[in-house]
Structure 1
């Protein structure tokens, strides 16, 4: 897959008002792209746009009409979109039998349906315009499941599979799809958790830099940090006792089950989105 030069490209980042999305918007802007962010938190997105000198608009990725309206606004203001980064996502964690059905549905709507809505809306315009690049920000949880994140892992497994199939289908039409799989990242998604020494959080800027590298080099997938790439790719081949022992060894057996009270603000926000 060929890489692309980002200077002058119109690039969209969903969920761009905070965390990895905000860092990615900054990295793309630094690479010379003309950046637009979309976020369900319209006020925060607008403030970010003023701060960075970019374009922002309200975007609910779970709503196809919102995605189309957002895309039309961006293209009217900046021109044809040729880079689309699906970053928006939420992470409910804790014992799955205790999770609220409405929140489970919201996670699937944002993390899976939202990625599909954004990718398909962007791809239709990219095909008509001669091509483009889509990057889906999944998670290493889309390769390595852990107790306490069944819903989140399931949604990210779906993102990985969808991206691979979409790339295979659209490659001959000029649209390529890549996947970035971050590990623990220092954003509010891991609030209330206590990562072990082998799962030390990485800064969101490291994930953003990887997104830029994937676009420039035309990479199919990238795990962040890269040292986890081989192990995560082989995870599904491990027998269950081996996988269980490894989870214990790296601290993944309890980290998403033993959640502190300082996660409550994030949980309230994603429940009320």
Structure 2
């Protein structure tokens, strides 16, 4: 589908990949619904793009049905949903508090599932619609020190794939964008900065471009950067080799 004129909801739009995606969709002609928690940043982005702001914390999953009702009441229709909002947590699993476990699960997995469920009737009513999930390479390869984050991103991958099969033949298409290390505030917010020399972080705009391609070209699965597909293939065909390499060279991000 062509984004021009489409109503596109972007979660986590106040910074990083979400803000870059909003700008890319704006350039493609979409009408934006900007969701996030930072009202100041969202207001600045809305002024720049002409988008409309809807605020809220996706960790409060009980409020998601009301969020969906507000979106439908204010905008009438939804053509594109970009499930981008996410949080990380890095460190030994035994040091992770129970409330941190719950929050990582709720924001990264429960919230996109519930928001998709709540907006699916609106999406299905459109002649063409798209849902894009921004996941992570951590969900496809697993990362030491990010056990809960890796597991919920893997769960989101599985949900997106299952939903793609379920909606086959309908007007609603499902896309997944799998970023690696991205140059955003994510690492500082998760509690541990990114300190490895390689791979180098990619600009958030590259992930945003992949989101727009997913909508325009019905791309089911994209890695950013593309070479990230290689370790996933190695893990699939030679899991023992992959585990040895990951244990010796992988470490935490």
Instruction: Tell me what 2:224 maps to.
Output: 224
2:231–2:242: 8 Å Cα contact kept in structure 1? no
**Offset at residue 241 of structure 1 (A):** 4.9
Instruction: Tell me what 1:111 maps to.
Output: 108
Deviation by residue 1:47-104 (Cα, 9 ceiling, x = unmatched): 3222332111113334455333333333444431110000000000111111111001
Instruction: Tell me what 1:193 maps to.
Output: 194
**Offset at residue 246 of structure 1 (A):** 4.3
Instruction: Tell me what 1:138 maps to.
Output: 135
CA distance in 2, matches of 1:162, 1:221: 13
Instruction: Tell me what 1:211 maps to.
Output: 211
1:131–1:175: 8 Å Cα contact kept in structure 2? yes
2:67 is aligned with 1:70: yes
Instruction: Tell me what 2:245 maps to.
Output: 245
Where do 5+ consecutive residues of structure 1 fail to align?
257-273
Normalising by structure 1, report the TM-score: 0.85
The more displaced of 57-66 and 225-234 is 57-66
2:141–2:231: 8 Å Cα contact kept in structure 1? no
Instruction: Tell me what 2:16 maps to.
Output: 19
Instruction: Identify which of 96, 101, 105 aligns with 2:98.
Output: 101
1:61–1:118: 8 Å Cα contact kept in structure 2? no
Instruction: Tell me what 1:269 maps to.
Output: none
1:7–1:32: 8 Å Cα contact kept in structure 2? yes
2:159 is aligned with 1:162: yes
Which aligned runs of 4 or more in structure 1 are off by greater than 6 angstroms? none
Please provide the CA RMSD for this pair: 1.9
Where do 5+ consecutive residues of structure 2 fail to align?
none
Normalising by structure 2, report the TM-score: 0.91
Other structure's SS at 1:171 match: coil
- Assess, with a 3 A threshold, how the Cα gap between structure 1 residues 117 and 242 changes in structure 2: closer, same or farther: closer
Instruction: Tell me what 1:7 maps to.
Output: 4
**Offset at residue 170 of structure 1 (A):** 1.6
Deviation by residue 1:228-263 (Cα, 9 ceiling, x = unmatched): 2233244243333542324534xx21x34xxxxxxx
